[in-house]
Chain A
Amino acid sequence: MPTETLIQPSADVGVTLSSVPESLSVQVWRRLRKNPRTVSAMVIIAIMILIALLAGTLAPYDYKAQMRGSELKAPSAAHWFGTDDLGRDVFSRVMYGARVSMLVGICATALSLLIGVTIGLMAGYFGGAIDAIMMRCTDTVAAFPSLLLAVAIAALYERTSIFILFVALGIVGWTGIARIVRAQVLTVRTLDYISAARALGASNTRIMLLHVLPNCVSPIIVVATLAVGGNILSEAGLSFLGLGVQDPFPSWGGMLSNARTYFKASWWVAVFPGLSIVLTVLSFNLVGDGLRDALDPKKSAVG
């Protein structure tokens, strides 16, 4: 039977008999550390964030410096990733491009979290008509092709900026978060300790923020991590369509869009920014998967 291998011995669940139980975050961290995929993905994300922050000092060339006579040069010792059609160093531009991807990915997710958690929390907690109306709104936004909606929002402006990009992606991407939070709230709100808090006279706001929300944190962390990857991918798509940060400032999607004309003869102008997108999104997805496994209560059950 192929199923035998499915059930793995839960050797990683260390049963400590000491009187003080480990806090959840310590447990989760211990489980995360044991997964080599997750650890390497976290290292890559850390490196990408560092590159984004320190691009100004780390990059060997200025991102807009054009070197006459060295247009579309293949990778060499002087230009590790080659040069583009205007003689700009692709390696430096990829480093600066990390800024746009990281900033838009993280800020858009933060905005989606703000909207999604608020709506999911209120819909799940109050129920009834509020729930029905809020969830129909969620369905409507979810029925929109998300990238198309973001495109429509971004296209309203003559010149797009990082700000418009993350707002457009943020107000499009909250529906999944709202649904997950609502589902979690529905299971939490019937528990005894919520009734106890209400009996003690706690206000709705207080119960929602201090008692319900902390119990929804695990699924929120997982979807948020996966959403950062998704937003980086969408940002690249928007930039590819020409709705991104304006040239000469580089973004990975914008560099690929520019490469459309040249990549057939000069592969490096497309391959390096493209691989940067794949590597970054892959890392966020792997960390999200790792977190999901580490936060799964089924796996943490000590029996």
Chain B
Amino acid sequence: MSKYLMRRLLQSVPVIFGVALIAFVLTQFSGNPVRSLLAQGTNPETIRKVTEFYGFNKPWYERFGTYMNDLAHGNLGVSILNHGEPVRQMIVNGLGVTLKLALGAMIFATVVGISLGIISAWKPYSLVDYLSSILAAIGVSFPAFFLAMLLMMIFSIQLKLLPVGDYRPGEIRYLVLPCLTLGLIYTASIARLTRNCMLETLSQDFIRSGRAKGLKKWNVLVGHALPNALVPIVTIIGNDFASLLIGAVLTETVFNIPGIGQVISAAIFGRDLPVVMGCCVVFALIFVSINLLVDLSYAFLDPRIRNAD
């Protein structure tokens, strides 16, 4: 197991390096960002000084070396737009809010999705099963920001149950709609997968044996079929969490939540290269860690994998 862990960890190193490289190369195409930042007609001497301060006058390989060295030390550079604020601080601030939103959504999606899936597997081709299959097909076709608007129209404007936006930190009710928006989209796919995996397991011999020796249908379903379906479910939850973070970026813009989404869009429109690069690298880091965690969780969920070595 530890050998496998080591190999998986080593495999992610070139991926992170490659992501940093792509992020660096991409931003090189946009030229010296200082020029477009300072006002028209700024003293050329000032432009030169600012350019030198950020190191944009050095050749690309030197800048790449500095960037990678800083990265290895956990330093993501400083923002140009926010006058020298450390990028790491900006990302940490934004990510805190975004992770709260993403985790809330994921918990909602997992709990409701797995429950729906179990009900569907219990009575396949029933009304609940049929409805959840329609919901799943629509769910994956829904842009998060459109669902956000629809939910706002229903819950905030028609029913006046929840606030319209204007996020205030510390107040849970401002996160309810955003979490619901993101959660609903993934609930459907988790429900479908749970149902299909459980039905597949239910067709196996050990289930029949369990039923034959008198186990209740519900016990077989939750005690035997569900644990066997968990590996693919955890895989899809891991994948979904990655795309959910992107969905969170779009949802934040609708609800005006000061998360990482606002940091990214402000950086892109302001051509704030260090922030754009930093966000890309941090997101890739999160993606790679989630994949790693998902792989490791297999060992806990499935004794056959745990004892494979």
Contact = CB atoms under 8 A, between A and B. Distances in A.
A136 B26 contact: no
B137 A270 contact: no
Interface string B139-158: 01111011001101100010
A241 B253 contact: yes
A60 interface: no
B26 A274 contact: no
A288 B82 CA distance: 46
Interface string A75-118: 00000000000000000000000000000000000000000000
Interface string A255-281: 010011001100100110010011001
A241 B138 contact: no
Interface stretch (B12-20, B53-61, B100-108): B12-20
Given A3-B203, A240-B250, 16 more contacts: A2-B121, A6-B124, A6-B203, A141-B22, A144-B283, A144-B284, A152-B26, A156-B30, A233-B141, A236-B146, A240-B253, A241-B268, A263-B152, A270-B149, A277-B146, A278-B142
Dominant secondary structure at the B interface: helix
Category for how many chain A residues contact B = 35 or more
B138 A253 contact: no
A156 B145 contact: no
Given A240-B145, A286-B137, A267 B124 contact: no
B234 to A, nearest CB: 19
A3 B137 contact: no
Contacts of B245: 145
A1 B15 contact: no
Interface of A: 1-3, 5-6, 136-137, 139-141, 143-149, 151-153, 155-156, 229, 233, 236-237, 240-243, 253, 256, 259-260, 263-264, 267, 270-271, 274, 277-278, 281-282, 285-286, 289
A291 to B, nearest CB: 15
Interface size class of B (residues with CB under 8 A): 35 or more
A6 B30 CA distance: 56
Name A's interface SS: helix
A90 to B, nearest CB: 15
A148 B250 contact: no
B153 to A, nearest CB: 6
Given A2-B122, A143-B288, A274-B143, A152 B280 contact: yes
Interface string B180-200: 000000000000000000010
Given A143-B19, A145-B242, A264-B153, A1 B145 contact: no
Closest 10 CB pairs of A and B: A140-B18, A274-B146, A281-B141, A282-B141, A155-B268, A3-B203, A145-B283, A147-B246, A143-B15, A143-B284
Nearest to B140: A285
Contacts of B264: 148, 151
A274 B150 CA distance: 9
30 contacts: A1-B208, A2-B122, A6-B203, A137-B18, A139-B18, A140-B18, A143-B19, A145-B284, A147-B246, A148-B246, A148-B249, A148-B279, A149-B22, A152-B26, A155-B30, A229-B141, A233-B143, A236-B143, A241-B250, A241-B268, A242-B269, A253-B143, A256-B143, A260-B253, A263-B153, A270-B150, A274-B150, A278-B143, A282-B138, A285-B140
